[in-house]
């Protein structure tokens, strides 16, 4: 069987993962994530990460996949960027690869689905808590409860962003078997 090229090995890596690896701060807005663009310098996020794992900067118009992002951020060639990204991804032995790919895709979709549901829930929880905080007088029990609710939801969001793909899948499976 033919060996996968270094670019093929990077194909499944979401741009967001490369962004995180480079220390970009990702901010949720709606169902997507955004980051400030270090390529043109700014204070409000212009880079959008989509569901397909790609990125686009509305400020400077650049975009593409994880390889393009790393290449742009580090000022290195796409090949150098692809090599760096692929290094973090061990390649399974060829005979297992085909059988595993179908299964891996399914598992990944499940983990992604779980993640986005959890994310939306926690975002909604944050919003609701903030609406309650705005409606109640600071210092009252109701206000403090809303404050605690928001803190819990923010902690949840924070925890979610720290999960790597494997941990996401574990969490998704754990929830399904409950
Ligand atoms: Zn930009």
d(CA 47, CA 3) in angstroms, rounded, equals 33
Q: Which residues pair with 49 in a beta bridge?
A: 33, 55
Contact 32, 48 (CB under 8 A): yes
Q: Is the pLDDT of residue 2 over 80?
A: no
Q: Give the confidence band of 50 by pLDDT, cuts at 50, 70, 90.
A: very high
Query: Beta-strand (E) ranges in the chain?
Result: 27-29, 32-35, 47-49, 55-57, 63-64
Residues with CB under 5 A from ligand 1 (ion): 37, 39-40, 57, 59-60
Q: Give the confidence band of 18 by pLDDT, cuts at 50, 70, 90.
A: very high
pLDDT for the residue 93: 55
Domain 6-87 top-level CATH class: alpha beta
Å from CA of 41 to ligand 1 middle: 7
Residue 35: CA atoms inside 13 Å, Cβ hemisphere, count?
Answer: 24
d(CA 142, CA 6) in angstroms, rounded, equals 56
**Could you tell me which of 38, 102, 116 has the C-alpha nearest to residue 74?**
38
Å from CA of 31 to ligand 1 middle: 21
d(CA 108, CA 173) in angstroms, rounded, equals 11
For range 165-175, the mean pLDDT:
85
Enter the pTM of the model: 0.50
Residue 177 backbone phi and psi in degrees, to 5: -85, 0
Quick one: three-class SS letters along 54-66?
Answer: CEEECCCCCEECH
Å from CA of 68 to ligand 1 middle: 13
Å from CA of 161 to ligand 1 middle: 23
Q: Is the pLDDT of residue 153 over 60?
A: yes
pLDDT for the residue 89: 66
Interior/surface letters 105-138, b for 16+ CB within 10 angstroms, e for the rest: eebeeebbebbeebbeebbebbeebeebbeebee
For range 66-80, the mean pLDDT:
93
For range 81-99, the mean pLDDT:
73
The domain limits of the chain are: 6-87, 94-176
pLDDT for the residue 144: 93
């Amino acid at each position: 069987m033919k060996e996968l090229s270094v670019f093929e090995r990077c194909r499944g890596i979401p741009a967001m993962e490369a962004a995180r690896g480079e220390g970009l701060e990702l901010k949720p807005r709606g169902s997507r994530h955004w980051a400030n663009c270090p390529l043109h310098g700014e204070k409000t996020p212009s880079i959008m990460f989509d569901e397909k794992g790609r990125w686009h900067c509305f400020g400077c118009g650049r975009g593409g996949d994880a390889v393009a992002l790393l290449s742009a951020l580090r000022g290195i060639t796409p090949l150098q960027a692809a090599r760096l990204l692929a290094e973090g991804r061990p390649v399974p032995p060829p005979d297992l690869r085909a059988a595993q790919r179908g299964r891996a895709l399914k598992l990944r979709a499940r983990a992604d689905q779980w993640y986005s549901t959890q994310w939306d829930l926690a975002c909604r929880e944050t919003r609701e808590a903030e609406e309650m905080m705005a409606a109640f007088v600071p210092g009252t029990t109701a206000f403090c409860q809303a404050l605690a609710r928001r803190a819990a939801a923010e902690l949840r969001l924070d925890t979610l962003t720290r999960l790597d793909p494997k941990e996401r899948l574990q969490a998704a499976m754990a929830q399904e078997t409950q």
